[in-house]
Chain A
Amino acid sequence: DTAVSQTPKYLVTQMGNDKSIKCEQNLGHDTMYWYKQDSKKFLKIMFSYNNKELIINETVPNRFSPKSPDKAHLNLHINSLELGDSAVYFCASSPGQKSYGYTFGSGTRLTVV
């Protein structure tokens, strides 16, 4: 049973489209995250939610909007996709205290053409 699951695994779309990535965790964790990994493997945090409340919001374009309907789910919606949005997006979760470390999903590879 996958602990942190993301869908879809691959997403190819045209510039200007709107797309969503879903994330679900069955670990009972309180905190969830979205990270972006670029082509050079650099990982950058985008958002973090704790019990459905936004606690970290990095400098990310307004086109990116996270939504957490409950503490087990964190979705990422992207409007007006651009070529530069092509990357691997990782969802992660933690019990709420970051000293435990994160559990990552397997990633969503987004390609904008």
Chain B
Amino acid sequence: AQSVTQLGSHVSVSEGALVLLRCNYSSSVPPYLFWYVQYPNQGLQLLLKYTTGATLVKGINGFEAEFKKSETSFHLTKPSAHMSDAAEYFCAVSASGGYQKVTFGIGTKLQVIP
């Protein structure tokens, strides 16, 4: 079974500051890892994903995440926060291979302060 822990249900940053959203996972097999963003009253949108290969993955809107197997982490970062980044962010994990479900974290609400 897989699980995801997102540290911090709410994160506040100033506009222009570094964004760091933390995600740790648990998986008995090599994981696939994802970050999704949800704007108010909308569905989730895929930001980026890690499956295999390069451990630093770049996504849309200037976000990136690094897969660290030794730390079982997949933290999301962005060098400079923009007001439009304010949203709910979800980390998700699934096992590689077969039809296995994707498990989502509880989400982190990012507030950007002008």
Interface, chain A (partner B; CB < 8 A): 4, 31, 40-45, 48, 50, 55-56, 58, 90, 92, 98-107
Contact = CB atoms under 8 A, between A and B. Distances in A.
A44 B104 CA distance: 7
A10 B42 CA distance: 12
Contact of B45 (A40, A44, A100, A104): A104
A19 B88 CA distance: 29
Contact of A48 (B42, B90, B101, B107): B101
Interface of B: 32, 34, 36, 38, 41-46, 49, 51, 88, 90, 94, 96, 99-104, 106-107
Contacts, number: 59
Nearest to A35: B104
A108 to B, nearest CB: 10
B109 to A, nearest CB: 8
Contacts of B106: 40-42
A102 B101 contact: no
B43 A45 contact: no
B110 to A, nearest CB: 13
Given A99-B32, A99-B51, A4 B101 contact: no
A105 B43 contact: yes
Nearest to B46: A101
Enumerate the 9 nearest inter-chain pairs by beta-carbon distance, A residue then B residue, closest first: A104-B43, A43-B104, A101-B46, A99-B51, A104-B44, A41-B107, A106-B43, A55-B99, A45-B101
Given A99-B96, A101-B34, A90 B44 contact: yes
